[in-house]
Chains A and B, each alone.
Chain A
């Protein structure tokens, strides 16, 4: 079976579920999820920064996980649950806790990277709650002595290592958010906003 290369664009009919709503769209196979969201569906909250997966401005949630929508072809995310910044607030307009925190902390200057920052931060809080480690997690800093001093290891139950949620501090947030660049350099307030939201989430769960 040989496939003859065509210079004609190949198109596909794709069913995209975005913010709970189903869109059936016809796209050139080359269309990224980012371009489908912005150009075809009209949701321009997700931003095109570098278009090469380096800046994070296009970050959305795919089945609850943060991803660079500029590196996903729309045809490949058929039937996935996609959440963009437009889908974070409640239907009545109540902001998502992270949106609130960004406003309260003035965690932006020009705002272009903000939708990606916020979607990424939603992913970070979910990953931390699931106990996912990071490169700066104290237990995993490359020092086995630290790991072996961990009570979970001493109790002979290494599996317990990832049982609990990861505790976020500023170093953790910086590492986990390193895929989102802010050309204005609003990082100080971005980190503060995410820590606020993390604390609020933890309090709520404790309460």
Chain B
């Protein structure tokens, strides 16, 4: 590991100013991903600016009936929060499906959003990787890609975003509060992430020094009936092969409103807007759910080793929505 300096800033503004002005400076949250990447030699920051003591650890109701979650809130505290469990169960379930008890105690909301892909080539500095070293190539297309993207990838990169939490946040339409060097701003979660295109090293729209300070959930009645289903190779403590976050509102047998997001199938948490559109006003039946999933998957570009994800996503989407709809009829 490269030597580094360590600082505890007095406030968020100071943290932002330091990282914006210092070559090689990065924020340190829970460290569950960053410290590992430093050990692997994938990251070699010159300065760690520790943002875990900046009082960004509160979960507060917003005036419009939503919830504002500080970026420093630990995953385990968010999963245990009574309001989250009652009003946004998909988020509690997604958090609890991720990592281990120890890691959830450490990991922060902001860090979770910005964690890096677990693509084997990205994590191995002896291999080419366009994300880690632009222009060096991508061995994944012909190599090990069982767990990589079927949607949103490019010729340069088919890495998947590894977060469970972010998939639930995508379904809920969360927004992200960012403190920049100039001024604070608010982005939709979808505006935070970039698809790889030919610049897979640029994963977000954040600039140097931008600090995520909070995530805000809008008031969303249908989220009370929501669920997260994660398919993985072990029963616990494994990254997703495919995951589905869904919420649905059924009235008179018809889909009045629906939210759907997919995990572990794309370089970003994938809001399935095409599928959502295909379901609105239609009978809340298995047929509707399956054809909506297939509409979303029409754009899929799987490879030999992950073509199984196409029917898997279709099946899991259909099962989760049928279960949610069944409980409302």
Contacts and interface: CB of A to CB of B under 8 A. Distances in A.
Interface of A: 1-3, 5-10, 12, 28-30, 32, 51-53, 56, 59, 65-68, 71-73, 75-76, 120, 123-124, 127, 130-135, 140, 142-145, 147-148, 153, 158-159, 161-162, 174-180
Given A1-B18, A179-B103, 12 more contacts: A10-B6, A66-B102, A71-B106, A72-B106, A76-B6, A76-B31, A133-B92, A135-B93, A148-B327, A161-B85, A178-B100, A178-B101
How many residues of B sit at the interface, in one of the four size bands? 35 or more
A76 B1 contact: no
Interface string B88-107: 01001100110111110110
Contacts, number: 162
Most buried by A among B23, B32, B79, B102: B102
A1 B101 contact: no
B229 interface: yes
A29 B31 CA distance: 14
B323 A143 contact: yes
A179 B102 contact: yes
B102 A120 contact: yes
12 contacts: A5-B2, A5-B46, A8-B3, A53-B36, A71-B32, A75-B6, A76-B6, A127-B101, A135-B96, A143-B323, A144-B89, A153-B86
Nearest to B34: A71
Nearest to B238: A178
Given A30-B3, A120-B101, A161-B86, A134 B96 contact: yes
Contacts of A147: 89
Contacts of B226: 144
A124 B82 contact: no
A132 B86 contact: no
B238 to A, nearest CB: 9
B207 to A, nearest CB: 17
Contacts of A51: 39
B323 A132 contact: no
Interface of B: 1-6, 18, 21-25, 28, 31-32, 35-36, 39, 46-48, 50, 52, 76, 79-80, 82-83, 85-87, 89, 92-93, 96-97, 99-103, 105-106, 224-229, 235-237, 320, 323-324, 326-327
B2 A12 contact: no
B251 to A, nearest CB: 16
B80 A73 contact: no
Contact of B105 (A1, A66, A178): A66
Contact of A144 (B5, B28, B99, B327): B327
Contact of A7 (B3, B6, B229): B3
A123 B76 CA distance: 12
B97 to A, nearest CB: 5
Contact of A127 (B23, B76, B235): B76
A10 B280 CA distance: 58
Given A5-B2, A8-B3, A76 B82 contact: no
A71 B320 CA distance: 35
Contact of A176 (B24, B50, B101): B101
Contacts of A177: 101
A51 B21 CA distance: 32
B24 A72 contact: no
